[in-house]
Structure 1
């Protein structure tokens, strides 16, 4: 036997012994045994396992359905490597092994890792298992249908104890409500940070709408079961599954978004929200998300007698100013209260001294707005030039720019599948 053969034999023996000594990779199994977590340390594996179980428990509580999982979900944790910066932070793999379906979620842990991304991807994997739970014999290579983004965001927003204040604020600051059909076709990965926040708020409103009623939760569970057979028209699929949308789905949708705002009316408004709402009331504008206001301007009434037709509108304006004062930002609260007092005096016909009071109040309000704008400009300058950390406001936008454009979803009818297969053969 020559030296090369002897060297090859020795190396083979050493490698085999090393593999035997190394043993199987360390893993952690969740209490329900659905989640098998590999890699990293035991502490991190345990944290991911607990998060996975909590995420599933919240979903099952929302749907009011028992846990009947059939396909385990493998979670592979790996640390980020400097020589592989292009590795995605999360990747979900779904395939047919010949012995059943396989679900594997690869998570790359880095110093800047977004913890909310783990929860979102775990929920995506859980929902995907539910969608194909009754199809274990799925043909290999079949393109799978994942859960819609609005369902992911809506379920996460309904997690008990979750702060929904930023979502309500996004609705308050929006100029108009996006139509439901348009919302369903939005791709959140391509939205900037403010639009992404508004998308999450709409998702919360839609999930709340779907679970309303005696059988709303069971209908949502059936909707998830049927997602693998969904059409290319998500709006039609929703209307078919949820009769609560009724004949006028857009009206029901707008009402649901408005209720989302009304449900959080106990929270104080920001300075910008208070100023905007006050301006709407004083100018007689109509709010896009709240109850309608009357087209009456307080400044036009103090110098003349109030007509009978204007009195109910003035009383409602007084009431709206009173409600706004309760939620107003502390900086603007004295201004709102004084406008409300002026409305009371005008309604009572006491107009003496109102001209000077109006002028002084208008000047004070303008000075406060100017000062707050200066503060806002300074904070923006400081964040842009002096801050040592990133605010994260544009993270979603930068990520969308850096990632390739997502392909449009393909049709799944027999002819389209055949044409796609022919196209792939020509490309290869």
Structure 2
């Protein structure tokens, strides 16, 4: 009877204990999951799932995700290729640390693991973050994934081939909506002729600011040349795929992929540079540039004595044969200038061209009054445009919610501490340093 009673009590208690145990385990599992989530770093995954971003806030991770996806979309649009990524790219956003100034702003690491290739990009988030540097490093990571996409097994310790710098700069320069005026100007004013082999072997990290701009301009010209060739975009995609097996001769590698360079590669290269530098002629001049150019045209020299042509003087007398030739030359130059001038100054330039044509034909009636009226209008336009520039400068300096970035390079250079030259340790220098210290004391 006692045994039967114990069994009955156990039959009542055990289900309750079992229920309590299950409830306890369930509650503990909830707390455990919450603690694990609190300890694990926050992350964001891009829409294509290729970019996994750790660190920073949700807003920053979202901005990096958007920039990464846009950079990849621009590259795929240039190559006209679908998105066939295989290896995810881990982006680690780490804050700038004052006690570790040697940490680079960006570091790309590629390694081979048991589960496959791993790509990780470490970005240091500083207060003066350079978005162009971030875009460049994201493009480097995307291209590196494309280069080794078909490489299944990579032996440990093998040196990885990174995409060349000219490819990075050229692709970025061809981004839709990118301002290329500075690159075109760098090519047009450059006095140095650079061969293709010399350019491909340059190290842009060792160049100064002007040299770096010229390098980016040449990169833009080269990539534009390659994609404009026969099946150029498809061939550029194949060239990227073959970079893992590239040789030490970059010119030969390009010739093997692009028929446009198969013949006289150097002549084709120089022609591409000339064509790119000439693109500046099809861009409209600013008002100040148009004013300067118009002044230069109106100061045309006479061939016999080297004196400047005086339109106001010719309005009251007959022009000589040399002056008529100079007037015809001025009229032709002004016709070409009208298409390139700032729209505000085009009517002024057209008036000057018409007056030059009239004086060349010996028709001086009313030219003096017209010349004075045009000169007055030009002075009024100059004063008005100066006021507009002053207002825009004031607005940019005081009213914009964010910096324009125009003086970013100057501010960055000014904020960097000037490196002091190491002291010489020869006897005379040591003696002079000791004397200087005594005088300072």
TM range (shorter): 0.5 to 0.7
Cα deviation for residue 318 of structure 1 reads 3.7
Deviations 1:129-153 (A, max 9, x none): 1112222322222222222222222
Residue pairs, 1:139-158, within 5 angstroms: 139-158=155-174
- Asked if the contact 2:94/2:123 (under 8 Å) is kept, the reply is yes
Matched, 1:170 2:189: no
| 2:118 alignment partner, one of 89, 94, 102 | 102
2:357 to 319, 334, 344: 344
Listed as ranges, the matches of 1:34-183 within 5 Å are 34-160=50-176, 162-164=177-179, 166-167=181-182, 170-171=185-186, 174-176=189-191, 178-179=193-194, 181=196, 182-183=198-199
User: RCO higher in 1 or 2 (8 Å CA, sep ≥ 6)?
Assistant: 1
How far, CA to CA, are the matches of 1:132 and 1:400 in structure 2?
A: 38
Distance 1:55 1:359, change over 3 A: same
Pair 102,317 (structure 1): closer, same or farther in 2 beyond 3 Å: same
Deviation at residue 278 of structure 1 after TM alignment = 4.7
Question: What is the Cα deviation at residue 37 of structure 1?
Answer: 1.2
Question: What value does the CA root-mean-square deviation take over the aligned residues?
Answer: 4.9
- Over 3 Å counting, the alpha-carbon distance change for 1:258 and 1:400 in structure 2 is farther
Equivalent residue for 1:252? 271
Contact kept, 8 Å, 1:28 with 1:42, in 2: the verdict is yes
Q: SS state of the match for residue 93, structure 2?
A: strand
Q: How many residues of Structure 1 are paired with residues of Structure 2 in the alignment?
A: 369
CA distance in 2, matches of 1:360, 1:282: 16
List runs of 5+ in structure 2 lacking aligned partners: 1-31, 394-402, 420-441
Distance 1:178 1:165 in 2: 20
Partners of 1:75 and 1:105 within 8 A in 2: yes
3-state DSSP class of the match of 1:40? coil
Cα shift at 1:70: 2.0
Q: Which moved more, 1:184-193 or 1:302-311?
A: 302-311
Which deviations, in whole Å up to 9, do the C-alpha atoms of 1:182-237 show, x marking residues without a partner? 44344433444454444434333332221114401001111212223333443443
Alignment partner, residue 26 of structure 2: none
Task: Kindly indicate whether the alpha-carbon contact (under 8 Å) linking 2:45 and 2:51 is maintained by their aligned counterparts in 1.
Answer: yes
Query: Aligned partners of 1:187, 1:399: CA distance in 2, in Å?
Result: 25
TM-score (norm 2): 0.65
Query: Counterparts in 2 of 1:224-243, with a 5 A limit?
Result: 224-243=240-259
Tell me if structure 2 keeps the 8 A contact 1:168–1:260.
no
Per-residue Cα deviation, 1:254-291 (whole angstroms, up to 9, x for no partner):
343046435xx3x5323564366557756889xxxxxx
Contact 2:52 2:91 in 1 (8 A): yes
1:328 aligns to what? 342
**1:92 partner SS:** strand
Deviation of 1:40 (Å): 1.6
* SS state at 1:393 partner: helix
Q: Distance in 2 between matches of 1:283 and 1:250?
A: 37
1:132 to 1:275, Cα distance in 2 relative to 1, 3 A:
farther
CA pair 80-231 structure 1, distance change in 2 beyond 3 A: same
The structural deviation recorded for 1:392 is 1.8
Contact 1:173–1:273 (8 Å) recurs in 2: no
Q: What are the superposed Cα offsets for residues 143-183 of structure 1, whole Å, 9 maximum, x if unpaired?
A: 222222222222223223x2425436634862447535244
1:55, distance to aligned residue in structure 2 (A): 1.3
1:102 alignment partner, SS class:
strand
Deviations 1:85-125 (A, max 9, x none): 33221111122234432211001112111122221111110
Matched-pair contact (CA < 8 Å) for 1:95–1:141: no
Match of 1:210 in 2: 226
Q: Structure 1 residue aligned with 2:280, among 237, 261, 268?
A: 261
Q: Which structure dedicates a bigger proportion of its chain to helix?
A: 2
CA distance in 1, matches of 2:140, 2:373: 57
**Taking structure 1 as reference, are residues 283 and 399 closer, same or farther at Cα in structure 2, changes over 3 Å only?**
farther
Gaps of 5+ in 1: 1-15, 286-295, 381-388, 404-428
